[in-house]
Amino acid sequence: MAPRSKIARLPKAVKDWLDRALAENGFADYELLSAELKRRGHDISKSAIHRYGQEFEDKLAALRIATEQARAITESIPDDAGAMNDALIRLVQQKAFQVLVEMEEGASIKEIGLMVARLSNATVKQKQWQAEVMAKARETADSVASIARKGGLSQSAADKIREKILGIAS
């Protein structure tokens, strides 16, 4: 197995600075970044920074595309039942599992564990919300059916109204 890169072994504060500098400089000026890292006590070649920068830029681009696509989808498709949220949670869970399997460089088991815990919490809250919406829909459907029945509609017509209301919520 290849040793971890020098960049992956940088202290967090220095790596965070490098990430910001790369993004702010438009993923250019690798010689300048190498010189600054050397000044800070870390001898890393411009080639190593370039390789890291390319991978980092690709990840940022993929994240931007995913964010734009998610925004476009949520703006164009109403999601009263929370199906979009459920799908998003499942997608993130799949990606987290993929990271665990591949154990990408820099992936912290603690961070992944925290992400999984947060996703699990989000899943539970999503299911609670769905149950609350369904309960409110049933209550409303029962009330509307009762009012319709009292107003002279047949039991069959009241049942059809109730079914329509519940069909919207499920």
**Residue-range domain boundaries for the chain:** 1-77, 81-170
pLDDT at 82: 65
* Whether the Cβ atoms of residue 34 and residue 44 lie closer than 8 Å to each other: yes
Q: Are 23 and 60 in contact (CB under 8 A)?
A: yes
Which pLDDT belongs to residue 8? 87
Q: What pLDDT sits at residue 162? A: 79
How many residues are recorded in the chain? 170
Tens-digit pLDDT string for the chain (170 aa): 567 788 988 999 999 999 999 989 899 999 999 999 999 999 999 999 999 999 888 888 887 887 777 777 766 766 555 666 667 777 776 777 666 666 655 556 677 677 777 877 887 888 888 888 888 888 888 888 888 888 888 888 878 887 887 775 44
pLDDT score of 170: 42
Q: Give yes or no for a contact between 84 and 73, defined as CB atoms under 8 angstroms apart.
A: yes
DSSP letters spanning 120-156: HHHHHHHHHHHHHHHHHHHHHHHHHHHHHHHTT--HH
- What is residue 109's predicted lDDT score, i.e. its pLDDT? 67
Instruction: Provide the token pair at 53.
Output: 């920068």
Q: What local confidence, expressed as pLDDT, does residue 39 receive? A: 95
Q: What is the radius of gyration, based on Cα positions, of the chain?
A: 26
DSSP assignment string, the chain: -PPPPTTTTS-HHHHHHHHHHHHHTTS--HHHHHHHHHHTT----HHHHHHHHHHHHHHHHHHHHHHHHHHHHHHHS--TT-HHHHHHHHHHHHHHHHHHHHT-TT--HHHHHHHHHHHHHHHHHHHHHHHHHHHHHHHHHHHHHHHHHHTT--HHHHHHHHHHHHHHH-
